[in-house]
Amino acid sequence: MAHLLSTSIFFAWATLVAAGDIRLRLVRNSLVVVGLVAALASALVNANPFGISAEQALIGMLVGFVGFFPFFAFRVMGAADVKVFAVLGAWCGLSVLQWLWVVASLAAGVHVVVLMMLTHTPVGALWSHRSPTLALGTRRATPYAACLVAPAAIWLTYLVVTGGV
């Protein structure tokens, strides 16, 4: 029962992260904290939907944060993306984290290419030093936190369907 509950909590958390990031380009800190507490609690009671231990959850969280922090420091990525990646590390563990990053980056790249095609943005605009090349209002256009949680949700769906955990 605890495993089903933690699986449901992960799906709800991922959905809220994606919805907030897509609609508002905003992931609230309270949502990040709830996700982190739920991830660590599920690992502590051996009910983590990805089948990782509390130690693996802590390592995944730390590696996720440390791995993405330089992107934030150089203003390439928002703070929410770093925090969401750390929480994903706590949910999924280190072994899956690198693949989530690769798939999310590919999805973000596809998103940018599609937006550039739809808006007829020239490739040269990518090297502009003015405002962001692709923006919706005052916000950058690629919802990277949504790109991060989507492959994790798909992976968990696969695990649930195949009985992988």
pLDDT tens string 77-125: 889 999 999 999 999 999 999 999 999 999 988 988 888 788 777 777 6
Which helix (H) or strand (E) segment holds residue 139: the answer is strand 139-140
What pLDDT, on a 0 to 100 scale, did the predictor assign at position 25? 86
- Global pTM reads 0.86
Collapse the DSSP code of 136 into the 3-class scheme (helix H, G, I; strand E, B; otherwise coil) and give the result.
strand
The ranges assigned to domains in the chain are 2-162
Q: What mean pLDDT, rounded, does the chain reach?
A: 89
Amino acid identity, position 36: L
Amino acid identity, position 40: L
Residue whose C-alpha is closest to residue 25's, from 113, 146, 108, 106? 146
Radius of gyration in angstroms for the set of CA atoms belonging to the chain, rounded to a whole number: 16
Structure tokens, 43:
């690992």
| Total Cβ atoms within 10 A of residue 25 | 21
- DSSP state for residue 50 in the 8-state scheme: T
Burial of residue 74 (number of CB atoms within 10 Å: 0-12, 13-18, 19+): exposed
| Residues in contact with 56: Cβ distance below 8 Å, sequence separation at least 6, in sequence order | 43, 93, 94
pLDDT tens-digit readout, 19-36: 999 898 889 999 999 999
End-to-end CA distance of the chain: 14
